[in-house]
Structure 1
Amino acid sequence: MSEGVTQPSVSVVVVNYRGVEDTLTCLRALRTELDYPAERLQLVCVDNNSGDGSAERLSAEPGVTFVQAPDNLGFAGGCNLGVQHATGEVLAFLNNDARPHADWVAAAVETLRAQPTVGAVASKVLDWDGKLIDFVDGGLTWFGMGYKRFAGQPDDGSHDVARDVLFGTGSALFVRAKLFRELDGFDERFFMFYEDVDLGWRLNLRGWRVRYEPKSVAYHRHHASMSDVDSSREYFLLERNALAAMYKNLSDETLAKAMPAAMALAVRRATARGNVDATQLEITKRPADRAQDAEPVAVPRETLAGLLAIDQFVELLPSLAESRKAEQAARVRTDADLIPLMRKAMEPAYPLERYLAAHEALVDAFGLDEPFGRPRRVLVITGDALSEQMAGPAIRAWHMAETLAGEHDVRLVSTNKRCDPPAATFPVTQSTVRGLLDHVDWADVIVLQGHVLEMVQSLKHPRSPKIVVCDVYDPMHLELLEQAKGGNDEKRAKDVVGVTNVLNNQLKRGDFFLCASDRQRHFWLGHLAAIGRLTPQVYDADPTTRSLIAEVPFGLPAKPAQRTAPAIKGVVGGISPQDKVIVWGGGVYNWFDPLTLVHAVDRLRARHDDVRLFFMGMRHPNPEVPDMGIAGRTRSLAARLGLAGTHVFFNEQWVPYADRQNWLLDGDCGVTTHFEHVETTFAFRTRVLDYLWAGLPIVTTDGDSFADLIRREELGVVVPPEDPHELSAALERVLYDEEFADGCRERIAVVRERFTWDVVLAPLVEFCRSPRPAADRLVAAGPLVREEPLGAVGTLRRDIGLVREYLTAGGPAELARRAAGRVIRLTRG
């Protein structure tokens, strides 16, 4: 344990019911054997109205907060009562017939402090002698029965690796106190058995992790509290509570299939366990003597337990229905998300022949293989036009949907009025703002960009259960600084504030963020820090923060560009097959500098009359995006220099996305030029990727992340901004120096493999395989250790530390100066 670090206070709750000797042994071990600061430890003992003199002995035990229950509340109710008297930031539950290892508390607390997304720690539990396993992992069947995997096996060291589990055993379990109270603790209707399964299930559904920590060890006399109870009563609780747990926690869709099958299986389990002849009441088996036929039929207690459990489950349904509403409203993870934690959900669990036959029949009849493997539902929303002619945001959304559809059930939705998409293997649709709500309700994970979050206000709510991925590859506010130049100053200022707020709302809400480059990642980390998202919980969960924000650049098709038809050379009037074509592969926007490029071409044509500059798209495919001023200025300059239609050409529409390779492959080089400003610094020029895809040597202005790549990998030439002389020379080199151009193409062929869609989208794919809320968005997230008044001892320790610090910093003079200053402050206070 680190010296000088304030450890969280821990309240250990122990429930006693007619087991005072075991309980005293447990309490004394907690008081004397733990390697944890005694002043940070509270022992709470609840007596469940034992009525055998236990209360008198336990209440006299030193160092224990004793609580007398008014009745036998069971393990669940007893623990909850103890929590009402607990003061710790961490709650620990230990069976009264268990004892802790010296590191039991310290190891669990270390896990909670180091991993802020862990809501509970499941201890490693061994038998009393420490040889056999009691708990190292939990499993859950589709019919709601939890079980301890590997129980009874030797502890051979193969379970000494920490891992996430669905639940921990209540016999040795740690939970964040704030979180436990937020969930209203254990469900007291369970009385005992599966209340720990239910708690762990609810934690996981809310996005919290339950972590098995093998260094936190306890030793347990298994079921000492049930040793004098008939097994049929245990069966009753197990059967009833399993149905209650699955009813509360399964989704509507899964429950509709699983619940009737589970109830039917419970009946078969009961009859098989009691070896009851289930055909004895068939009419063909009635005896000739009617009096004999009216005699009572003996039902074994093991069978009666299952039948009564169903009856009492029905009795609980009204109150369970209210709990179900709360659980389903709070969940952020799907049933499919938790399948791996269930371990073997289709495990029959009981080796009874008639039962096994029923299990197989019910699984087949109700199609239970499907709901326990339902694909995750991912919704990708864009505000851009989805059509044959698509701009960057739509292209990006399209490939996200296409890639994710390989593993998940995916919908791609556009809020743009123009939506006539090409054929796809996943549903693509247009939606009104109001219609988005139905799509959002359907989805487990929502990937959005642009202004979409503003269209679904319910998603902004901090308690929204939906997992939201925000694609912030486009720093819109930086673009707007340039785009709105020359317009109304007041409107420009308001627009920049408005777009900044749009982005801030995404940054406040998102669970995972996508950006396009390392530069952007640093930029957005600054944004996130400024709005308070880089909390200790987020940092401690992942100091790299890559689980919060990841680089996902624009991508390329895995297959290199293949020509299907000519598009420019020999097709566009004024451009012959022998001409050297410079391709401007995208829109002409205010943050670009096509003017310097036109001047450079004017210089170059004096030496090479066969040079041609071709702008692939002057009009944005999204009708809501107006022509920008720079486009008109570029046309005017080309006309004034006598280049329009002879050396400079404009495609006034937009090249269809599926045909763009033909236009690119008719080029001899690709070019992108821009001004020196902040938009350039953090921009990601997607057109450059198309140049890579087509194998075109690249000429680019310095200042953005692609300029760094082109310079480092020697993929073309990087020039200073607004320098027509250098730009003309660079174009001449890539167009007319064949050896240099061929070398560029060879290196481009290697580099473009890094930018295929399947490669660049890997962080998004990985996140969607196990989506969770960001650490600071978990319900009841917050610091584990509260700030407390120092008290006399604490103040003394602090002052001694300050004395050492001042002496080290400046000797006695510094100490005297600081002390005088403190005296003045105290007298003024």
Structure 2
Amino acid sequence: MSERNELPVVSVITVNHRGVDDTITCLRALRDELDYPADRLELICVDNASGGEAAGIRAAVPEATVVESAENLGFAGGCNLGARDARGQVLAFLNNDARPDPRWARSAVAVLRAEPTVGAVASKVLDWEGEHIDFVDGGLTWFGMGYKRHAGETDDGSHDAPRDVLFGTGSALFVRAELFGALDGFDERFFMFYEDVDLGWRLNLRGWRVRYEPDSLAHHRHHSSMAGVASSREYYLLERNALAALYKNVSDETLAKALPAALALAVRRSTARGEVDPTQLEMTRRPTGPESDTVDISRDTLAGVLAIDRFVELLPSLKRSREVEQQARTRSDADLVPLMRKAMEPAYPLPDYLAAHEALVDAFDLNGVFGRSRRVAVITGDAITERMAGPAIRAWHTADVLAREHEVRLISVNSRVSVTDSAFPVFQTRPRDLTTHVEWADIVILQGHVLEMVPGLKHLDSTKVVICDVYDPMHLELLEQGRDTDDERRAKDLQGVTRILNTQLRRGDFFLCASERQRHFWLGHLASLGRLTPSVYDDDPTVRSLMSVVPFGLSSVPPRRTGPAIRAAETGIGSDDKVVLWAGGVYSWFDPLTLLHAVHQLSERRDGVRLFFLGMKHPNPDVPEMGMADRTRQLSDRLGLTDEQVFFNETWVPYDRRQNYLLDADCGVTTHFEHVETTFAFRTRVLDYLWAGLPVVTTDGDSFADLVRREGLGLVVPAEDPRALAEALERVLYDEDFAAGCRDRIAEVRQRFTWESVLAPLTEFCRDPRPAADRLEASAPLVRTPPLKRSEVVRRDIDLVREYLESGGPKELARRATGRLKRLVDERLRGRG
């Protein structure tokens, strides 16, 4: 089947009102620059009573269908008029002062085709120059005002992960045509402003999803259509339409509290905006002489009052619309709170207004109505400083992603916490003080030994939702790490770590691991501890709602150089040298020794090979240096490689400067031994190689080796084979075509490993957190096994006697009988207790 037949017809609708130059520029860009088959594209321009501009548009872009309206229908009415005669299966709305990226339509259509539950696709919208954000996410306040989150911020690539949103901006939005018709399109009573918020709200209430797709990109000259229009008119529309959207879409229970509070807040917003003295009519403020019946009030103040007046005028028709929406809804208000992002956001930074907002929220218990943001405590035992190791990095990004929807605290029990800038509060606390943070939180996410520090949280009858991040199989690491200690201590340490992990596995409501291999490993643990019960299995036969894969992630912002690194005069590594980067620490479970031998072999036939170890000492001084680091230095010296072909950074590179080192490298390497730790390990720093587009050379045996081999991201070699490793390094470094092919595939694969993507299972769980199915109270079997009749008991006992005699004779029968008598006695004693 040809591509033409696989793609739906897209009808692009733009509305013109006295903006003919912008409109022609927009239509020509759609016609000439869009990467979409011309015969599958329909251009529709609605001229909103512009006074003769329609003829100019027809002449400039004859391919467009121009629909003329005798009156100004506003944005909402204009779009609906264009949609009525559109022939496309997909409707695309684009402001006349916007221009699309070539893949604007194709990327949005791909989402609609791939995900049948997506009813609309919200484009990413930047300013005309492509530097600042216009739309990447939508928020909604409890009083009905929608807003563009991150608007005006610099576009640094951090919003380039798709996500579900409450609404998209009408300046660049795709909707299934049949669905748009079923919803009667945009609400024309809005005229302009919030008609897109209302549409997205209604879509979500009916069970449809609105999906933000960053590859569907458009550029917008924000509000050029409002040039010359007084701000009071905009305020009026925003106030009126917010009330209308709120009235139509919230449930009866929510409306009873939210609407009176929203009306009162609209008045206070207007008086605060216009700096009106609210006490001027108090009897105690009467003048001594005659007073006037008139007072000067700005139109900015009047906007709110008139908006309420017009809202009242619209109530009869809005009531009918409300009945339709409430009957059609399939989702609750609470279901949509996460999509509102920050529902309790005051929105305006005016002191008098903020005081009223706080008073109304308290008086009407609006936190209870809309559900305050969930409180999430992310707790780590690692140092949180500019030099962070894997556990702290993972905790940091977990907090960062969850803070976009929840109230999050990142807490470390390590004494080394130093943070200058974060979107969430970071606390350093003593283990004995953790209880305060745990009591504050609705959800606790923990790593390592943290659960041992909060005894009350360990109890199985605790109602707190606990998420255990077991991406690091500590007991398997200890098998290798403990080789440097005496036998007795090694055995005790392993026993202690295993006990700590078992406690987590018995207590947790949700578990995170780093790979499918790990998931299989941990499922075995859970089964042995009795956690894979019928209730857990029946609730979710995949058991992914209990144990889900959350790999280590990488930033969605591409690495950008901020300073010199490896290729600097003081390092002795030149601009033409080929740099092999070891990006993590040097620990006992790694095999840098084979790598040194491989580099030694390769240097005998290639002059410019350089190996750089990024960090020899762990950033947390509490973690002692392992023997492998010293053995690595000694072997390098013995082979004559140190400061010639091999270079050691003895400290630890700050996390926010590591990209400079990655960008100086030609490939990334990780080598390890063949043992059980390798089988279930997840080499976190390998993600940095993908982030920087570095081909990877790795030893076989772990999950990353599987990924590199499957996706063609580099080369996989056998363990402890210096010759094979040298040949792999040589090919990656000197075969330019091969390396370029690896980089192309890395560019595709790394999108799957952004923190936003890998943390999706955790994000979903936190939106609807609940205890694991086997930890619910009153979870006794609904149907019990009926007790045996006396004759059946006798028959069973006779069968057992025969079985014991056949299997072990009289001794086996006596042993079994003794055991049974002991159990009966124990049961009697427990019954009396």
Partner of 1:371: 368
1:126-145 equivalent positions in 2, closer than 5 A? none
2:674 to 673, 676, 694: 676
How far does residue 422 in structure 1 lie from its aligned partner after superposition?
3.9
- Which amino acid counterpart does residue 617 of structure 2 have in structure 1? R
Q: Deviations over 1:553-579 (max 9, x none)?
A: 000111222222221113442100111
SS of the residue aligned with 1:582? strand
Instruction: State the match for 1:755 in structure 2.
Output: 753
Contact kept in structure 2, 1:537 and 1:783, CA below 8 Å: no
Aligned equivalent of 2:449, options 445, 448, 451: 451
TM-score normalised according to structure 2 size: 0.53
Q: Distance in 1 between matches of 2:526 and 2:793?
A: 36
- 1:51-86 deviations in whole A, cap 9, x for unaligned? xxxxxxxxxxxxxxxxxxxxxxxxxxxxxxxxxxxx
Matching of residues 722-733 of structure 1 within 5 Å: 722-733=720-731
Aligned equivalent of 1:408, options 406, 409, 415: 406
- Alignment-derived partner of residue 555 in structure 1: 553
Counterparts in 2 of 1:689 and 1:820: CA distance versus 1, 3 Å? closer
Shift of 1:719: 0.3
Give the CA deviation at 1:794. 7.5
Which residue number corresponds to residue 565 of structure 1? 563
The equivalent of 1:127 in structure 2 is: none
With normalisation by structure 1, the TM-score equals 0.53
Instruction: Tell me how far apart the structure 2 counterparts of residues 381 and 635 of structure 1 sit (CA, whole Å).
Output: 35
Letter in 2 for 1:569: R
SS in 2 for 1:686: coil
Aligned in 2, Cα 1:380/1:362: closer, same or farther, shift over 3 Å?
closer
1:336 Cα deviation after fit? 10
Which residue of structure 1 lines up, in the alignment, with residue 574 of structure 2?
576
Q: Aligned partners of 2:460 and 2:408: how far apart in 1?
A: 25
Aligned 8 A contact 2:695 2:732 in 1: yes
1:599 counterpart letter in structure 2: H
Name the CA distance, whole Å, in 2 between partners of 1:572 and 1:579: 15
Give the partner amino acid of 2:630: G
Larger radius of gyration: 1
1:421 counterpart letter in structure 2: V
Which residue is 2:151 aligned to?
none
Aligned match of 1:383: 381
Assess, with a 3 A threshold, how the Cα gap between structure 1 residues 795 and 457 changes in structure 2: closer, same or farther.
closer
Q: Cα gap change, 1:370/1:600 in structure 2, threshold over 3 Å: closer, same or farther?
A: same
Q: Which residue matches 2:536?
A: 538
Relative to structure 1, the CA distance from residue 732 to residue 407 in structure 2 (aligned partners, 3 Å threshold; closer, same or farther) is: same
Cα distance in 2 for partners of 1:768, 1:407 equals: 9
Q: How much does 1:787 deviate?
A: 2.9
Deviations 1:107-145 (A, max 9, x none): xxxxxxxxxxxxxxxxxxxxxxxxxxxxxxxxxxx9xxx
Aligned CA distance change for structure 1 residues 784 and 610 (closer, same or farther; 3 Å): same
Give the conservation status (yes or no) of the 8 Å contact 1:415–1:431: yes
CA contact (8 A) 2:484 2:627 kept: no
Structure 2: state its 5+ residue gaps. Answer: 1-141, 143-253, 262-331, 344-356, 818-833
Report the CA distance shift for 1:528/1:796 in structure 2 as closer, same or farther (over 3 A): same
Query: Counterpart of 1:717 in 2: which secondary structure?
Result: strand
Using a 3 Å threshold, how does the CA distance of structure 1 residues 613 and 796 change in structure 2: closer, same or farther?
A: same
Who is 1:596 aligned against? Answer: 594
- For residues 330-351 of structure 1, the C-alpha deviation after alignment (integer angstroms, 9 at most, x for no partner) is xxxxx9979989xxxx9xxxxx
Which residue of 764, 767, 784 corresponds with 2:762?
A: 764
Check if 1:706 corresponds to 2:682: no
SS at match of 1:435: helix
Counterpart code for 1:753 = Q
Counterpart amino acid of residue 704 in structure 1: D
Q: Deviations over 1:761-802 (max 9, x none)?
A: 001001101111111111222322323323279889999xx9
1:361-412 Cα deviation digits (max 9, x unpaired): 9966715323322100000000000011110000000000000001100000
1:776/1:782 contact within 8 Å kept: no
Tell me, yes or no, if the aligned pair for 2:705 and 2:716 is still in contact at 8 Å.
yes
RMSD: 3.2
Q: Counterpart in 2 of 1:718?
A: 716
Find the counterpart in structure 2 of residue 512 from structure 1.
510
Aligned residue pair count = 465
Aligned partners of 2:564 and 2:660 also within 8 Å: yes
Give the C-alpha shift of residue 534 in structure 1: 1.0
For 1:400, the aligned partner's letter is: T
SS of structure 2 residue aligned to 1:491: helix
Deviation string for 1:482-514 (max 9, x for gaps)? 001142010000000011111111001100000
Partner of 2:417: 419
Aligned 1:289-438 pairs, distance under 5 A? 366-372=363-369, 373-438=371-436
Contact 1:388–1:422, Cα closer than 8 Å, also in 2? no
Which residue in 1 is equivalent to 2:617?
619
Query: Aligned equivalents of 1:485 and 1:747: distance in 2?
Result: 39
Structure 1: gaps of 5 or more residues: 1-141, 143-253, 262-334, 347-359, 803-816
Amino acid at match of 2:403: A
- 1:458-481 CA-to-partner distances (Å, cap 9, x unmatched) read 100111111000000000000000
Structure 2 distance, partners of 1:746, 1:752, is: 10
Alignment CA distance shift 1:524-1:737 (3 Å)? same
Q: 1:524 aligns with which of 507, 522, 525?
A: 522
Distance 1:792 1:505, change over 3 A: closer
Question: What CA distance in whole angstroms lies between the structure 1 residues aligned with 2:563 and 2:491?
Answer: 47
Q: Percent identity?
A: 65
Q: Is the contact between residue 419 and residue 426 of structure 2 (CA under 8 Å) also seen in structure 1?
A: yes
Q: Cα gap change, 1:765/1:634 in structure 2, threshold over 3 Å: closer, same or farther?
A: same
Match of 1:369, as an amino acid? L
